Each structure stands twice: as structure tokens, then as C-alpha cells.
Amino acid sequence: MTLTALLVTLIIGAIAGWLAGLIVKGHSQGLLMNIVVGILGAVIAGWLFPMLGLGMGASAPILGTIIFATIGAVILLVVLRLIRQA
């Protein structure tokens, strides 16, 4: 992975994690945790959505990646909340 690709991944992860924290109330973290949650969300989305027949599309690759990573991060935060409540 090139330095540019790494930086783009970290920025997208931070944005997705931050957005997920806003959507799922009570899960506000710092920048590092936002990046981690966003990247894990992207991994979850990259695994789950193709199994459901959903794709990102090529028309807006960065915006699509942010949206999918955010949805994956929201899924991750909701699952973590359910585990903590159990």
C-alpha cells in the first residue's frame, strides 16, 4: 500500500467513524477510535454488502466508500451496544 493510499484510507476511516458516532448516540470517541471504527466498518461493509448483492458503484468511489464504511461502522457500534447491554 502506498503512502497516499494509506492516508486516504485513514481519512475515510476517520470520516466514517465520526459519522457513525453521530448516528449512534452515546458512542463518541476520539480521532484514533473513529479511524479504527471506520476502517472496521469498511471491512464489515466490504464483506457483508456483496453477499447481499449490493455494490458501491463506480460513479463516486470515494463518496460511496465513505457511505458504505459509515453503514458498516454503524452496524459495528450497534452490535457493540447490544453486547454491552447483555
Q: Model confidence over 18-28: pLDDT tens digits? A: 899 889 876 66
d(CA 68, CA 83): 23
CA distance 42 to 82: 20
pTM of this structure: 0.79
71 in a structural domain: yes
Q: Which amino acid is at 26?
A: G
- Three cell numbers written together for 32: 484514533
Per-residue pLDDT tens digits for 8-67: 888 888 899 889 988 987 666 677 887 888 888 888 887 888 888 877 655 568 888 888
Task: Judge whether 77 lies within some domain.
Answer: yes
User: Residue 40's domain spans which residues?
Assistant: 35-86
* E runs forming strands in 1-86: none
Residue 41 lies in a domain: yes
- Number of Cβ within 10 Å of residue 65's Cβ equals 20
